[in-house]
Amino acid sequence: MTFDYDLFVIGGGSGGVRAARVASGEYGAKVGLAEESRMGGTCVIRGCVPKKLMVFASGFPEAFDEARAYGWEVGAARFDWTRFQSHLATELDRLEAAYRSTLSNAGVVVHDARATLVDPHRVRLADGQEFSARHILVATGGRPFVPEFPGAELAVTSNGMFDLATLPKRALVVGGGYIASEFACILHGLGVKVSQYYRGAQILRGFDDEARGHISNAMRARGIDIHCGTDVMRLERTQGGIRAVATDGTEREFDLVMYATGRRPNTEGLGLEALGVSLGRQGQIEVDRYSQTGVPSIFAVGDVTGRINLTPVAIREGHAFADTVFGAKPTAFDHELVASAVFTQPEMGSVGLSEEAARAQEPIEVYSTAFRPMKAAFAGKPDRVLMKLIVSQATRKVLGCHIVAPEAGEMIQLAAIAIRMGATKEDFDRTCAVHPTMAEELVTMRKPTRSA
């Protein structure tokens, strides 16, 4: 049978673009790609990239304060939200153009339209065009989820945070995950009075308990009003803003309510179930280790599969798919020991097992230290950083590393290489410290804090 394309990709985010580029540019496949929105997907257009730029912007007030302690004369500072937005829009346009150029240079045919599946080898665009393909890759990502409750339409999600007409004076962030906690810190740094409601006992569920407690305490010390064990019952429009009626009996008024209560895969209306593609409870596409669904010609990568919702993971899954299907090199991405960073203030970097998960698996030793770093101590700030290693008693391998500190994301990337290679605690101990740095504590902790 003759097909219009060897591969048709639905979704122009990081995973889909990588798969398309490699299949076409490196392996010579004829590739088509459909994207109904902007090229680059969640990460580039409404996720990691603009969020990190907002993190940078929100950190300057603290930097100005530190500068004074270091002898600099710093005048009154004022943040211009409109100016920042304009610069941000220009940067996102540049990045989107770069994605399109990458696809064009690789020979990928781009269709700026929504695509759905007709059968295991055929897709239909929103304008009615249909194309056949030997293989179809679904890489449609995910979207923010807002539960149903009275007044839910008054809330915004992370998708809308970069397009606000003005910065609010009072904001409520609902949720306790990394997106909610990051935006609580961002808004606070930009001068907004921030409250954060989370129905659980502690924010950042799934991360190491000691690390998440350290971050929560630091956020509270900075002035973010965190309420755990609290959820919103309803939102009401008032003359002065939005009233949030909470489960703890309080009623408070805000100018902005942002929900970050999880994400859902973008699988609705694609026609997957009718073709026999299995979906999980949250709508995620069920795939095997090679990203193949139960329908042999249909594959899926990235957030739409609900495995690990991180951009670098989607990219590696997309590349592995192309190597497997078009490069004759069966490749399964290993989802173990994937490092991550949470861009709160302070920042967190994490790789491997938390203390709690490791303790449930085997006997461990915990090496942990919290201290005031030199920069903060000189400036008279109370900020403390946390360095933590989880070590197997049996093998001496480092099972997990957790860092809460400025630039923790930069540090954890390097620690992840060592841990991925199977480094032991003694390997860390034999590594000479770089002084004076915060990270030197990772190789100078000699005695365990506790064993379990």
Question: Hey, which residues are catalytic here?
Answer: 435
What distance separates the 2 farthest-apart alpha carbons in the chain? 74
Residue 75 token pair: 């005048």
Tokens 């973008």 map to which residue? 266
Sort residue 418 into left (φ over 0), alpha (ψ -120 to 50) or beta.
alpha
Distance CA 404, CA 386 (A): 5
3-state secondary structure (DSSP) of residue 98: helix
Q: In what order do the strands lie in the sheet with 251-254?
A: 232-237, 242-246, 251-254
Give the C-alpha distances (Å, rounded to integers) separating 407 from 290, 345, 379, 401: 34, 10, 18, 15
Buried b (16+ CB within 10 A) or exposed e, 21-32: bbbbbebebbbb
Contacts of residues 201-204 at CB distance under 8 Å and 24 or more positions apart, as own/partner, are 201/228, 201/229, 202/176, 202/228, 203/176, 203/177, 203/228, 204/176, 204/177, 204/178, 204/342, 204/348
Torsion angle, alpha carbons of 175, 96, 334, 214, to 10: -30
For residue 77, the SS3 value is: coil
